[in-house]
Amino acid sequence: MQKQWKLLPQDHSRVEHLARQARIPDVVAQLLVSRGVYDVESVKKFLDAKLSDLRDPLDLPGVTEAVAVIAPAIRDKTPIVIYGDYDADGMTSAAILFSGLKLMGADVSYYVPNRLEEGYGLSSEALEKLARRGKQLVITVDCGVGSIEEARLCKSLGMQLVVTDHHRIDGQLPEAAAIVHPRLPGSSYPFGELCGAGVAFKLAWALCQEICGSKRVTDQLRTYLLQALSLAAIGTVADVVPLVDENRILVTHGLKSLKAKPTLGLAQLMRLTKVDKRSALQSEDIAFSLAPRLNAAGRLGQAQLGVELLTVKEDNRSVQLAEYLDQLNSNRVSLERSVYLAAQKQAKTEFDPEADPALVLAGTGWHLGVIGVVAGRLAEKYGRPVLILSLDPVNGKPATGSGRAGSRTIDLHEALGDCEHRLVKFGGHRAAAGLTLHESELDAFRSDFCEAVAKQLADNDAVVEIKVDAEAGLGQLTHQTVRQIEQLAPFGEGNPRPILCARNVRLAEPSRKMGGGDRHLMLRIEQDGITIRGVAFGQGEWCEELNAHEGEMDIVYRPVINEFRGQFNVEFHLVDWRPALNPAVV
């Protein structure tokens, strides 16, 4: 797949001014300028991310109304149930409110739907079950804002409903006693990018103040809120919302809390993944170590155990849960790799992934819990929308699919809407969607979907664009400079880890594959007598081609400080490479 490197605009005068005033290297100044930071005062504010800069929880739309419903229910011991979601954001949201309400003396339990059997959002069957169990107040987390019919059912069953959510609101709102949402129609909250756990944290904070009758809460509740910050950080990183504004503050301080005083279950999970050995935690520790294990529980139908891990109070049970979730993740990795290899083979042998506007791939028994991840990996690889469908001809059920756009210029939801006559149902948004269809419609749907995507595509949309922050040779990657780059963290959506470019480098030795299934690549590159070790995650297939290339090459990479057994070394994550456009004359 063709990749285009695009060097971001360089405002040299601004960069030079900031570098001089803040006394930082040019490359660090360039990274700050590209993030809209132009002066020393702005640098300080960007790097500090003070907890006190979080907005008052009562400013969040719907919180005041929700507190008015929930606080009396806590005092009156009304049976409350937290209705969660099966991903890491939903689990951490449920854990935040369940732990907080329990600490405040509420009669509270939680319910998390089974991804494989119930699907996303409020379920009528689940609500009827909860009503039979005597629940009188349902509080949703990370779901519910689109559950119009289910909200009516909840009311008819005699249960009050409080919705807390952050997903897109499409027209009608559900009938509920309160709806907490950063983009609630008619409100003017200045930051609409909170995830479910961020919304839950704000509500929990407001409830603590209400129960205490003061902005200043008890020491016990303050300790709880600081620990809840770590859960909010996990949900925020896992849900890939922009790490700016309040999200940057939540993650910055949540990582510190996670390191200093994790919940019992998280402490065990951190031990298993060895992130507890780090001197300081990074957002990548959540993204690549903790969140996948929580998500694995949800993908394999065990989300309830994920919430239990986050709220468990017994040592032995915390060990059991952490080890089980770790094993589930290993199972998920194996399932994902199996489906990925089969889908990739189908893409190459039956279709043309370099020319087709989209890929619609289908296989019997492909696990529903991993098809979305596989679709995302292939969409990124080929730079075009990918739909992965799991067929179930034995039971005669419709095929179930998940899709990822693979390009910001493609609206996946719109393309599926153009094919609605072929589908049983579909839903989602621009970048991700789910669908079901009868297998007999598969070929016709594939043709219609490719046509719908082609209508949106321009000639250059199939090119994967890599945005490069600045050019920096290996000689500029001093320990001090990379440490200063690390201060721009937490990195993630909206504040990506910087990507730099180096020209005319060489392999210092043959690259080699590493990791399970030889998925990853390890290499050492040399430039002007300086050698640095790097890793290319998920790019083991580059090994032979790299080793066969005899000349110089250009690379784009992410600089990192690698911590191993107490040693800190400057390394890089290879993003892409190509033969040098302007080889140095030897």
What is the average per-residue pLDDT within 74-100? 97
What is the average per-residue pLDDT within 365-373? 91
Q: pLDDT value at position 460?
A: 47
206 with 164: CB under 8 angstroms? no
Q: Quote the CA–CA distance of 394 and 58 in Å, as a whole number.
A: 53
Tell whether 345 is covered by a domain. Answer: no
Q: Do 106 and 244 belong together in one domain?
A: yes
Our CA angle for 472, 473, 478, nearest 5°, is 85
Q: Quote the CA–CA distance of 485 and 533 in Å, as a whole number.
A: 18
Q: pLDDT value at position 308?
A: 98
Q: Do 266 and 145 belong together in one domain?
A: yes
Q: Which two tokens stand for residue 81?
A: 């149930």
Q: Do 157 and 86 belong together in one domain?
A: yes
pLDDT over 70 at 461, yes or no: no
Tell whether 182 is covered by a domain. Answer: yes
Tell whether 288 is covered by a domain. Answer: yes
Confidence of residue 423 (pLDDT cuts 50, 70, 90): very high
Q: pLDDT value at position 459?
A: 46
Tell whether 46 is covered by a domain. Answer: no
Q: Do 295 and 166 belong together in one domain?
A: yes
Q: Quote the CA–CA distance of 21 and 17 in Å, as a whole number.
A: 6
Tell whether 343 is covered by a domain. Answer: no
Q: Do 559 and 437 belong together in one domain?
A: no
Q: Do 366 and 320 belong together in one domain?
A: no
pLDDT over 60 at 536, yes or no: yes
Which CATH number goes with the domain that contains 491?
Answer: 2.40.50.460
pLDDT digits (tens, 9 = 90+) for 94-135: 999 999 999 999 999 999 998 777 777 899 999 999 999 999
Residue whose pair of structure tokens reads 């997903």 in the numeric block: 167
Q: 534, exposed or middle or buried, with CB in 10 Å at 0-12, 13-18, 19+?
A: buried
Tell whether 339 is covered by a domain. Answer: no
Q: Do 182 and 263 belong together in one domain?
A: yes
Our CA angle for 284, 290, 294, nearest 5°, is 135
193 or 461: which carries more pLDDT confidence?
193
Q: pLDDT value at position 336?
A: 92
Domain that holds residue 469: 3-9+30-36+465-579
Among 442, 462, 482, the domain-final residue is 462
408 or 547: which carries more pLDDT confidence?
547
Q: Quote the CA–CA distance of 211 and 543 in Å, as a whole number.
A: 60
Q: 390, exposed or middle or buried, with CB in 10 Å at 0-12, 13-18, 19+?
A: buried
pLDDT over 90 at 170, yes or no: no
Q: Which amino acid is at 203?
A: L
Min mean pLDDT across 258-267, 408-417, 568-577 is at 408-417
Among 434, 462, 490, the domain-final residue is 462
Q: Classify strands 470-471 and 500-507 as parallel, antiparallel or unpaired.
A: parallel
Q: Which two tokens stand for residue 375?
A: 């679709």
Q: Rounded to the nearest 5°, which phi and psi values hold at 464?
A: -80, 120
Tell whether 331 is covered by a domain. Answer: no
Q: Rounded to the nearest 5°, which phi and psi values hold at 204?
A: -60, -40
47 with 487: CB under 8 angstroms? yes
pLDDT over 60 at 296, yes or no: yes
Which CATH number goes with the domain that contains 220?
Answer: 3.90.1640.30
For 207, residues 6+ apart whose C-beta sits below 8 A from its C-beta are 67, 70, 71, 74, 100, 101, 104
Q: Quote the CA–CA distance of 400 and 435 in Å, as a whole number.
A: 6
Percentage of the chain surpassing pLDDT 70?
98
Which CATH number goes with the domain that contains 356?
Answer: 3.10.310.30
Instruction: State the total domains in the chain.
Output: 3
Percentage of the chain surpassing pLDDT 90?
76
pLDDT over 80 at 240, yes or no: yes
CB atoms within 10 A of CB 188: 7
Among 462, 491, 510, the domain-final residue is 462
pLDDT digits (tens, 9 = 90+) for 34-59: 888 899 988 888 888 899 999 999 99
Q: What is the DSSP letter of 227?
A: H
Q: Do 457 and 473 belong together in one domain?
A: no
Q: Do 223 and 300 belong together in one domain?
A: yes
Q: Do 362 and 404 belong together in one domain?
A: yes
| pTM for this predicted structure | 0.89
What is the average per-residue pLDDT within 368-385? 90
Tell whether 21 is covered by a domain. Answer: no
Q: Do 506 and 363 belong together in one domain?
A: no
Q: Do 425 and 550 belong together in one domain?
A: no
Confidence of residue 585 (pLDDT cuts 50, 70, 90): very low
Q: pLDDT value at position 105?
A: 97
Chain mean pLDDT for the chain: 92
